[in-house]
Structure 1
Amino acid sequence: MSGPAKRIRIAVAGLGIIAHTAHLPLLRRRGDLFEIVALADLSPSRLAETGHRYGVDPERRYADAARMVTDGGCDAVLLATSGSHGDLAELALRAGVPVLCEKPLAYTLAETARLTGLGTGGAALMVGYMKQYDPAVAEAARLLAELGGPERVHAVEVTVLHAGGDRQLRFANLPPAPADVPAEEVVRLSGAGARLLDAAVGADPGARTLYQILINSVSHDLSLLRLFTGAPATVEHVATWPLTPDGPVEPSVEISGRLPNGARYGIRWLNLPGYPAYRETVTLHHAHGSLELVFPSPYLLNAPTTLTVVDHHGGGERRAAYRSVTEAFEQELVAFHAMVTGGVPPLTGIAGGAADLRTSQQVVRRYGELTGAAIGGEAAG
């Protein structure tokens, strides 16, 4: 009989929305696997309140995430700060600390190149694509393998109805954004992010906005394409358009191209601030039917993703639904624990994170070709 799992000490950098709605509650829920031993955030009030709530000693609450990492005293670190995570991930890996990194892993391929080869056995960093660990996704992958694998896929269609954050988070009763983040830190981080965007895609405002949508949201769909079929082989069509002339700053986005096996993919990310609820649909069509995944808002813990299997039976159409209330974020944490304690490779590590950046830059480059926008940085190469 095997004994209890090793409990690992984890430090959390960034105490924003995703930390409060998902990571911290689930780390507490899985107290059999994790102990929260350190926190970092730029807001003193949020750091104090969260530290008190989760029982973290005041001396292990940091305004500087880098110092938290270098001070040690933990077995792993979770990076949920805003912007690129390249520098903090590199710092942790060089210190021998495994990393669970929220997307985006980085803004530039140069950052991911610096991470390559760091850590133990190449399995020291997991990118936080929780949808890859969703039980319905795992079941779809199993069924696809039974059908014959990626070669059987004829087309993949993705539609994201991106409701406004207020509609996605109304249930959570989150406190207002803290007003005590030092102004000089806001300026510093904004400048660092701007320089990385320049290095990634250049100065064109439309290209920068598109790139941020891709690496911050559409990257989840790119991760599912990699899991099911492999990363896109081509990016042939790219379009962006506003909701109305006075609509949201972020446009809607449409992308399509060819998959490695010659099949086609299409992604439509629709920015709909007033839409009633977030909804994401990923459908894999094959010669004999379809596998359709419908995801609810990622902030709703234990809300089931629905997998609908469509095939033929007795001369007609058969539909079967699969649902599980097992939380994808929790499954991701269990997989991260297995990576830290047993060296089990993650579904997405550094190479996968870099692949999604590369695809995103290909999208921006094609956007420039189609619109005449001046694309710079890595995306121009």
Structure 2
Amino acid sequence: MRVRIAVAGLGVIAQTVHLPLLERLRDRFELTAVCDLSPSLTARTADRYGVPGRYTDVETMLAAGGFDAVALLTSGSHGPAAASALRHGYFVLCEKPLAYTRAEAADLAALDGGPVPKLMVGYMKQYDLAVARVLATNVAAGAQAIQVTVLHPSDGAQLAFARLPAPPLDVPAGTLAALRAADEDLLRAAVGDVPAAARRLYTTTLNSISHDLSLLRLLAGGVATIDHVALWPDHPGRPPTRSTAVATLAAGPATGGRSVELAGTLGTGGRYTIHWHFLADYPAYRETVAIHHATGSAELVFPTPYLLGAPTRLTLVEGDGGAERRAEYADVTPSFENELLAFHAMVTEGVPPLTGVAGATDDIVTAQLAVRHLAGTATGGEAAELPLPW
């Protein structure tokens, strides 16, 4: 069965990943509508893929119909658009973050509460074949420690190979201003008027670190507690403590280098650490997830998500009669492709996604707990309702 699908948001991830893969999987999907705030980008994309439906407003596209499912690839919170799509009866593949607030997530949970799941959150690394190999070994369930390190260059550095056209300049300024204001209202509802560093921690966790949270949830029961949070900018000397981190980063650079460190306990026992480093000029994106257990280790190394076909590498280390035995795998099928196939199975067969509203809600709570840990009594919004961790 071919699923008729619409795509909202035609930016970098759509151009480099989703649209080429939907074309590759044309035996499973029929692209029938596209939508972007830019009229020129919408027209160019619709012409490129031979799409009849072309829109510059998501609500107009959802009301017009002509498709079974929608991929929400827009920026910011997807809560309002996802809720509207569910009310119209569509299946939804939603890029992260699903939402900025727990209130939005609760609304989505009510809308997606039927016997057949209708919303999948786009945590593609959960569908990586190398991750499936780790799950098959069951080593993560007994992990003593899971250590995550993300080395994140600028998007420009990661995307130089794609030779994308310059961003369009025909988006109405008033439309952009209204969307930014709406997102600001949601962020304020989530964490209040916290200092800039705490706000940045929240958006970084939901927009990037959430991928690592999704892996911890799949592999080891997710984050049970957060007992350490640190942030620091370029060449800090040492990571600041909770009491100094907010002041240190409040006027920190938007580019250059900045780092996030989270640590705590896993749902299955053991501990995790996450080190996330934005390094604008680092030569290549690299994400390493190292799982250490009583009899060995498993190490996953993920490449940049934008380069389809770049392998995810897995190394398994075990004992062998007093010696060390290592097995190495390189899986090249794009995790995004496996994610789309899983979405197709959800639409056509009712197969539950690895992450739906409940998992995304867990990530929102984790992000709010991190801000609560960092900002303490200065935290507002929903995060202020969570217990102080000390």
* TM band (smaller chain): over 0.9
2: CA distance, partners of 1:161 / 1:206: 19
Q: Partners in 2 of 1:333 and 1:207 — Cα distance?
A: 34
What is the letter of the counterpart of residue 10 of structure 1? Answer: I
Structure 1 residue 134 corresponds to structure 2 residue 128: yes
Residue among 111, 116, 126 paired with 2:104? 111
- The farther-off stretch of 219-228 and 91-100 is 91-100
CA contact (8 A) 1:242 1:248 kept: no
1:262 and 2:305 are equivalent in the alignment: no
Assess if the C-alpha contact under 8 Å between 2:258 and 2:279 holds in 1: no
Q: Which amino acid aligns with 2:218?
A: L
Question: What TM-score, normalized by structure 2, do the two folds share?
Answer: 0.92
After superposition, residues 161-200 of structure 1 pair within 5 angstroms as 161-200=151-190
Q: Secondary structure at the match of 1:126?
A: strand
Pairing 1:308–2:299 present:
no
Find the counterpart in structure 1 of residue 86 from structure 2.
93
Query: What are the ranges of 5 or more consecutive residues in structure 2 without an aligned counterpart?
Result: 237-251, 386-390
From 195, 198, 208, the counterpart of 2:199: 208
Distance in 2 separating the partners of 1:376 and 1:323: 45
Number of aligned pairs? 367
Q: What does residue 348 of structure 1 align with?
A: 355
Residue range with higher mean Cα deviation, 19-28 or 240-249: 240-249
Distance 1:247 1:182 in 2: 28
Which segment drifts farther, 20-29 or 60-69? 60-69
Runs of 4 or more consecutive aligned structure 1 residues displaced over 4 Å after TM superposition: 244-247
Q: RMSD between aligned alpha carbons?
A: 1.3
Describe the SS at the equivalent of 1:352.
helix
5 Å-filtered alignment, 1:323-334, equals 323-334=330-341
Over residues 92-136 of structure 1, what are the superposed CA-to-partner deviations in whole Å (9 max), with x where a residue is unaligned? Answer: 111110000000000001001001132442510000000000000
Unaligned runs of 5+ in 1: 1-5
Structure-1 residue corresponding to 2:364: 357
The TM-score normalised by the length of structure 1 is 0.94
Cα pair 1:243 1:271 within 8 Å, conserved: no
1:310–1:320 Cα contact (<8 Å) kept: yes
Q: Does 1:18 align with 2:18?
A: no
Aligned partners of 1:106 and 1:47: how far apart in 2?
25
State the alpha-carbon separation in 2 of the partners of residues 142 and 10 from structure 1: 32
Whether the aligned pair in 2 keeps the contact of 1:283 and 1:292 (CA below 8 Å) is yes
Q: State the one-letter code of the partner of 1:132.
A: Q
| Maintained 8 Å contact 1:283/1:291 | yes
2: CA distance between counterparts of 1:78 and 1:261? 33
Alignment-mate amino acid for residue 32 of structure 1: D
- The whole-number CA distance in structure 1 between the counterparts of 2:343 and 2:278 is 32
Match of 2:328 in 1: 321
The secondary structure found in structure 2 opposite 1:117 is helix
* Alpha-carbon separation, structure 2, partners of 1:55 and 1:98: 22
Distance 1:195 1:230 in 2: 32
1:221 aligns with 2:212: yes
The question of whether the paired residues in 1 share the 8 Å contact of 2:300 and 2:312 is answered with yes
Distance 2:42 2:268 in 1: 49
Choose the corresponding residue for 2:59, options 63, 66, 70: 66
Contact 1:225–1:232 (Cα < 8 Å) also in 2: yes
The whole-number CA distance in structure 2 between the counterparts of 1:190 and 1:161 is 28
Alignment partner, residue 28 of structure 2:
33
1:38-86, Cα deviation, whole Å (9 max, x unpaired): 01100011111001001012xx111101111121110100000010000
